[in-house]
């Protein structure tokens, strides 16, 4: 027997399957999707088994030394999907597989195999029987060394859920199991025993009395000991006497465990919702793959459609993947899913600890969860019978992973949807141009929800020209209109949301006399001022510098921070509206775990008047008492030289407008801008997606951007500038001669941030329509420079379909 293994060497030449002989004692054990330890040159490496076969073209094969996981951690579908990812994003197969696993499994944590509660001891190898060896389970090594170990049996028990693998995460080495006492006897029987013990065993009698008084049938052992002051020995005696039974129960590190979820029932659908959901339900029924695009204004009931589609999937005994952007994955959102489906929902997002994420992942693998709600990487949930994949807010750029493998969750969803023959549903109030164009061409099926469920009007929006404000002498950050409205809300006891788009905002320190701007010495980018610690920081490499007291160029003292960050807005609010209580949400106030949620809760409980924040507050929030939304500088990202900047501006303004007046109170939106005439601002004000779409499509066509052209971005970096330029020129020339004359190659040019961490960066952009050989050519280029990348610190990265070329 021979296994094809993808080894853990992130290099071009090794990114293929290597054949290894399976030693006899592992023959029955090894299966596809397991990780194994193999000799590789002088080293020992881990790798994924992705094929089993009888023969190999090579002779003198080396032997697999050991197994890492006792059971497969990737199923066959995911193995194939990994190949697709490697091919289409030009990444290493090994990194494709790694990206599918929770962090806990990627690291070399020690693993232990444990008995579970469901274990029926008769079928389980003796090594695991309680009392024989360690109570906390055995490491795989210990199991293998034990003479009675029967690997086949262990695997069977693992797949039956009688044994389980736990990855010990050292920093989070908290107890995850606890002992629970069960009292099965009637209270009469207990009372009798109590009488009998009073004299001879007063301590045990006390414990019995406590149990009788409290009528408990089940109580954690520790709690019982704490409440009664009893020792472990006392409790043990009661167990030995058969009065109590004790079991070990797993405590999942469920971050939502302490919360109650009120069960919700499906709502009767509106006619529009009914029309949208019918073809989706039909596909679920008929096991048919199709991609839907639900274009529905905020509050049009998209989420209810998702919920009812998932319900149907669960009824069919299948599983559902629900993707939500990281920042929308609020407790409110989780509530809606847990409220409908209870504990069948696993939640995966980056706010969870490594251990918590692993626990949630394991619920999926053990088939305890039927639904996963999560951010991007939840698309790899190891379900085996997927009935629907939903991507909410499909336009969000966070669905694209900006490091290797550079995949887009939408494409993965469609690949998996094809495999499982199930519908894929994309939803948004502001779909991407790419998706909407596909829907118009009939590649996706379009469903439009025109109205809000409760017939509530979309909030009216006012666009304020900040140049006019300046002309009339208002130098404040707030226009007269916005300020008046803020005051009005304060008087009425209603709440307001203020959005400051951080991107493109100046948070740098400069000299008023000579214009000097403090820059990072390692990266060509200005340093960001942090008020709390009064230091300057580089967001790319972490470099820190003290705030200068004098300008290093001209020695002027007029050097300081003049930007308009959220802190500055907060200060101004405190000055102008001292009676208002303000919550500020930005990267600084939410960096500690749980703070994001805490601040939002405070606002939801109406303990503050104004919520001020960056993009992170634009989405998913649903506060009934919010009647005013102000956007402080709508055009702050409009002028970024990025082909998506108009689209992003339109999306943000539309989304943020949707935050106001979702309930009984009607809402108002004030948009402050220096370019009120720009179509993305005008059309967002009018909630007119279609006109925006048509207009922006013309622009994209004119400038040869997606969806009319595909893009590929090649970035080359090295410490020596001339070396980078030279290689970039050669790469561009190579592309020029190999691609068709329809392809457009831009570059080489310096990257938008030309130096990061002392490395120079140059790029080439390829615009193309149909280049069947492109991936092959790019691969050849990578192979060609492989040696230099390994030995010479050269990096060449390829991003197929970049979100931005900025
Ligand atoms: P979206 O996801 O499009 O923003 P939601 O699904 O969140 O919209 O719906 C907005 C509000 O309307 C929610 O409070 C939701 O509970 C409610 N809602 C949705 N569908 C219905 C319905 N058919 N009948 C009554 N209320 C509904
Ligand atoms: Zn100066
Ligand atoms: Zn830097």
Which H, E and C letters describe 383-394, residue by residue?
Answer: CCCEEEEEEECC
3-state SS, one letter per residue, for 601-616: HHHHCCCCCEEEECHH
Between 194 and 390, residue with greater pLDDT: 390
pLDDT above 70 as % of the chain: 89
Residues 184 and 309 in one domain: no
Instruction: Based on the fold, state whether residues 645 and 724 are members of the same structural domain.
Output: no
For ligand 1, atom 25: residue with the closest CA: 267
> Which of 260, 384, 406, 248 has the alpha carbon at shortest distance from 334?
260
Residue nearest to atom 14 of ligand 1 (CA): 299
Q: Assess whether 661 and 752 both reside in one domain.
A: no
Q: Is the pLDDT of residue 44 over 90?
A: no
How many A from CA of 542 to the centre of ligand 3? 6
Task: Evaluate whether residue 372 is within a structural domain.
Answer: yes
Using the 3D structure, point to which of 171, 194, 211 is the last residue of a domain.
171
Looking at the fold, whether 114 and 243 belong to one and the same domain comes out as no
* Mean pLDDT in residue range 86-108: 87
Indicate the pLDDT class of residue 633, thresholds 50, 70 and 90: confident
User: Atom 24, ligand 1: which residue's CA is nearest?
Assistant: 267
Is 296 close to ligand 1, i.e. is its CB under 6 Å away?
yes
Q: Where are the alpha helices (DSSP H) in 58-180?
A: 76-89, 93-98, 103-106, 140-145, 151-159
Question: What does the pLDDT average to over 594-622?
Answer: 80
DSSP class of residue 804 equals: -
Residue whose CA is at the smallest distance from ligand 1 atom 9: 301
What is the domain-level CATH number for residue 346? 3.40.50.300
Residues with a beta carbon under 5 angstroms from ion ligand 3: 520, 522-523, 538, 540-541, 543
What residues make up the domain containing 714? 710-799
User: For residue 429, which phi and psi values (nearest 5 degrees)?
Assistant: -85, -20
CA-proximal residue: ligand 1, atom 15 (nearest)? 301
What is the Rg, in whole angstroms, of the alpha carbon atoms belonging to the chain?
A: 30
Residues 234, 325: one domain? no
> Do residues 304 and 366 both lie within one domain?
yes
Pairing state of beta strands 163-167 and 582-585? unpaired
pLDDT at position 13 is 66
471 and 483 share one domain? yes
453 lines ligand 1 (CB under 6 A): yes
Distance CA 475, CA 700 (A): 37
Residue 488 has pLDDT above 90, yes or no: yes
Under the banding of pLDDT at 50, 70 and 90, the label for residue 108 is low
257 in a structural domain: no
pLDDT at 393: 93
Confidence of residue 175 (pLDDT cuts 50, 70, 90): very low
H or E element: which one contains 559?
Answer: strand 559-561
- Strands 759-768 and 744-756 turn out to be antiparallel
| Together in a domain, 572 and 691 | yes
Q: What is the CATH number of the domain that holds 789?
A: 3.30.70.360
Query: Would residue 559 count as lying in a domain?
Result: no
* Residues, CB-to-ion distance under 5 Å, ligand 2: 511, 513-514, 516, 551, 553-554, 556
The answer, yes or no, to whether any atom of ligand 1 lies below 6 A from the CB of 267, is yes
**Number of structural domains the chain divides into:** 6
CB 376 within 8 A of CB 409: yes
Q: Whose CA is nearest to atom 4 of ligand 1?
A: 299
Domain boundary among 85, 104, 123: 104
Q: DSSP label at 13?
A: G
User: From the CB of 269, is ligand 1 less than 6 Å away?
Assistant: yes
| d(CA 636, ligand 2 centre) in Å | 26
Whole-angstrom CA distances from 481 to 230, 254, 612 are 68, 46, 17
The answer to whether position 148 is within a domain reads yes
Assess contact for 660 and 627: CB atoms under 8 A. Answer: yes
- Tell me the pLDDT of the chain averaged across its residues: 85
Ligand 1 in reach of 303 Cβ (< 6 A): yes
Average pLDDT over residues 399-408: 93
Distance CA 206, CA 741 (A): 90
Cβ 655 vs Cβ 298: under 8 Å? yes
Q: How confident is the model at residue 502 (pLDDT cuts 50, 70, 90)?
A: low
Same-domain check for residues 641 and 695: yes
The pick from 269, 275, 301, 373 for probing ligand 1's pocket by mutation, whose C-beta has the most ligand atoms within 8 angstroms, reads 301
Would residue 525 count as lying in a domain?
no
What is the whole-number distance in angstroms between the Cα of residue 527 and the centre of ligand 2? 16
Highest-confidence segment of 82-91, 468-477, 553-562, 666-675: 82-91
Q: Cα–Cα distance between 228 and 206 in angstroms, integer?
A: 7
Q: Are residues 61 and 84 in the same domain?
A: yes
> 380: pLDDT confidence band, cut at 50, 70 and 90?
very high
How far, in Å, from the CA of 437 to the mean position of ligand 2?
50
Ligand 1 centroid, distance to 661 Cα (angstroms)? 14
- At 167 the pLDDT is 62
The Å distance, Cα 425 to ligand 1 centre, comes to: 17
> Using 50, 70 and 90 to split pLDDT, how confident is the model at 585?
confident
Predicted confidence (pLDDT) per residue in 428-437, tens digit: 999 999 999 9
* pLDDT (average), residues 530-547: 79
Q: How far is the CA of 561 from the centre of ligand 2 (A)?
A: 13
Check if 302 has its Cβ closer than 6 Å to any atom of ligand 1.
yes
pLDDT over threshold 90, residue 358: no
pLDDT digits (tens, 9 = 90+) for 719-766: 999 999 999 999 999 999 999 999 999 989 888 888 888 999 999 999
Report CA(556)–ligand 2 centroid distance (Å).
5
List the single range of 167-181, 359-373, 420-434 with lowest mean pLDDT: 167-181
Q: Which ligand is nearest to the CA of 515?
A: 2
Give residue 136's pLDDT band: very low, low, confident or very high (50, 70, 90).
low
Most confident of 139-153, 211-225, 472-486: 472-486
Q: Are residues 419 and 374 in the same domain?
A: yes
Which CATH number do you get for residue 39? 3.40.1440.60
pTM here is 0.80
> What percent of the chain has pLDDT above 90?
43
**Residue 511 domain-assigned?**
no
Question: Looking at the domain assignment, is residue 804 inside a domain?
Answer: no
322 near 373, Cβ under 8 Å? yes
- 315 with 388, same domain? yes
554 vs 510, residue with greater confidence: 554
pLDDT band for position 613 (cuts 50, 70, 90): confident
Among the listed residues 552, 505, 554, 545, the one whose alpha carbon sits nearest the alpha carbon of residue 521: 545
273 touches ligand 1 (CB under 6 Å): yes
Helix (H, G, I), strand (E, B) or coil at 507: coil
Ligand showing the shortest atom-to-Cα distance for residue 558: 2
Q: How far is the CA of 558 from the centre of ligand 2 (A)?
A: 7
In angstroms, rounded to a whole number, what is the distance separating the alpha carbons of residues 372 and 603?
Answer: 28
Of the candidate ranges 381-390, 482-491, 789-798, the one whose mean pLDDT is the lowest: 789-798
Q: In the prediction, which pLDDT does 276 show?
A: 96
Residue 288 has pLDDT above 90, yes or no: yes
Q: What is the pLDDT of residue 250?
A: 62
Rounded to the nearest whole angstrom, what is the distance from the C-alpha of residue 287 to the centroid of ligand 1? 27
Identify the H or E element spanning 710.
Answer: strand 710-718
Rounded mean pLDDT, 529-533: 74
For the beta sheet containing 138-139, the strands, ordered from the edge strand earlier in sequence to the opposite edge, are 138-139, 111-115, 163-167
Pocket test for ligand 1, best of 272, 294, 303 (most atoms within 8 A of CB): 303
CA separation for the pair 329, 376 (Å, rounded) = 11
Residue 552 maps to a domain: no
């Amino acid at each position: 027997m021979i296994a094809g293994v993808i080894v853990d060497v992130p290099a071009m030449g090794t990114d293929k399957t290597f054949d290894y002989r399976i030693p006899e004692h592992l023959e029955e054990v090894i299966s596809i999707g397991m990780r194994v330890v193999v000799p590789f040159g002088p080293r020992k490496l881990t790798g994924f088994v992705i094929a089993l076969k009888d023969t190999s073209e090579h002779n003198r094969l080396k032997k697999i030394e050991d197994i890492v996981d006792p059971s497969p951690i990737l199923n066959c579908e995911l193995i194939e999907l990994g190949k697709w990812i490697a091919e289409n994003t030009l990444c290493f197969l090994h990194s494709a597989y790694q990206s599918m696993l929770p962090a806990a499994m990627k690291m070399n944590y020690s693993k232990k195999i444990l008995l579970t509660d469901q274990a029926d001891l008769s079928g389980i190898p003796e090594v695991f029987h309680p009392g024989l060896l360690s109570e906390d389970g055995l490491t795989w090594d210990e199991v293998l060394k034990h003479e009675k170990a029967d690997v086949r049996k262990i695997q069977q028990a693992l797949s039956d859920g009688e044994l389980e693998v736990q990855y010990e995460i050292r920093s989070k080495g908290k107890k995850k199991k606890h002992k629970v006492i069960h009292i099965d006897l009637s209270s009469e029987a207990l009372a009798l025993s109590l009488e009998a013990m009073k004299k001879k065993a007063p301590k045990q009698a006390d414990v019995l009395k406590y149990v009788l008084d409290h009528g408990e049938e089940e109580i954690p052992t520790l709690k019982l000991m704490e409440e009664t002051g009893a020792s472990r020995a006392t409790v043990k005696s009661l167990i030995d006497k058969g009065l109590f039974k004790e079991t070990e129960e797993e405590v999942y590190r469920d971050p939502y465990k302490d919360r109650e979820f009120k069960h919700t029932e499906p709502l009767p659908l509106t006619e529009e919702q009914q029309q949208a959901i019918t073809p989706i339900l039909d596909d679920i029924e008929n096991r048919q793959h199709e991609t839907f695009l639900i274009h529905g204004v905020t509050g049009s009931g998209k989420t209810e459609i998702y919920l009812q589609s998932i319900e149907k999937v669960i009824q069919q005994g299948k599983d559902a993947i629900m993707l939500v952007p990281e920042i929308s994955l609020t407790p409110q959102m989780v509530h809606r899913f847990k409220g409908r489906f209870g504990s069948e929902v696993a939640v995966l997002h980056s706010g969870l600890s490594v251990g918590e994420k692993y626990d949630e992942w394991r619920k999926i693998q053990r088939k305890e969860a039927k639904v996963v709600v999560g951010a991007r990487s939840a698309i790899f949930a190891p379900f085996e019978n997927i009935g629907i994949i939903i991507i909410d807010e499909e336009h969000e750029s966070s669905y694209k992973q900006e490091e290797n493998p550079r995949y887009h969750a939408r494409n993965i969803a469609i690949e998996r949807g094809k495999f499982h023959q199930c519908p894929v549903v994309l939803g948004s109030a502001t779909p991407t141009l790419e998706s909407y164009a596909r829907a118009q061409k009939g590649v996706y099926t379009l469903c439009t929800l025109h109205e809000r469920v409760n017939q509530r009007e979309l909030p009216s929006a006012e666009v304020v020209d900040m140049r006019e404000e300046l002309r009339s002498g208002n130098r404040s950050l707030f226009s007269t209109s916005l300020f008046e409205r803020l005051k009005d809300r304060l008087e009425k006891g209603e709440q307001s949301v203020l959005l400051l788009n951080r991107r493109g905002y100046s948070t740098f320190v400069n000299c008023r006399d000579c214009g000097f701007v403090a820059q990072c010495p390692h990266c060509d980018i200005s340093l960001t001022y942090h008020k709390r610690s009064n230091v300057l920081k580089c967001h790319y490499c972490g470099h820190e510098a003290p705030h200068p007291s004098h300008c290093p160029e001209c020695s002027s003292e007029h050097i300081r921070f003049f930007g308009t960050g959220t802190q500055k807005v907060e200060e101004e609010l405190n000055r102008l509206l001292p009676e208002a209580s303000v919550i500020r949400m930005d990267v600084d106030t939410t960096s500690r775990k749980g703070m994001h949620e805490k601040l939002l809760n405070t606002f939801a409980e109406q303990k503050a008047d104004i919520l001020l924040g960056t993009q992170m507050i634009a989405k998913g929030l649903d506060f009934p008492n919010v009647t005013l939304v102000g956007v402080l500088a709508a055009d702050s990202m409009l002028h970024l030289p990025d082909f998506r900047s108009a689209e992003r501006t339109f999306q943000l303004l539309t989304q943020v407008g949707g935050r106001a007046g979702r309930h009984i109170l009607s809402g108002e939106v004030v948009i402050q801008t220096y370019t009120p005439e720009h179509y993305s601002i005008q059309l967002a004000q009018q909630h007119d997606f279609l006109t925006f779409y048509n207009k922006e499509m013309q622009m994209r066509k004119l400038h040869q951007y997606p969806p009319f052209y595909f893009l590929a971005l090649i970035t080359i970096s090295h410490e020596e500038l001339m070396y980078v330029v030279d290689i970039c020129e050669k790469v561009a020339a190579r592309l020029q001669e190999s691609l068709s004359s329809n392809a457009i190659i831009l570059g080489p040019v310096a990257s938008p941030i030309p130096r990061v961490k002392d490395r120079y960066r140059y790029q080439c952009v390829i615009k193309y329509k149909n280049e069947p050989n492109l991936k092959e050519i790019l691969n050849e280029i990578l192979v060609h420079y492989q040696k230099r990348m390994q030995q010479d610190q050269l990096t060449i990265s390829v991003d197929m379909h970049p979100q931005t070329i900025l």
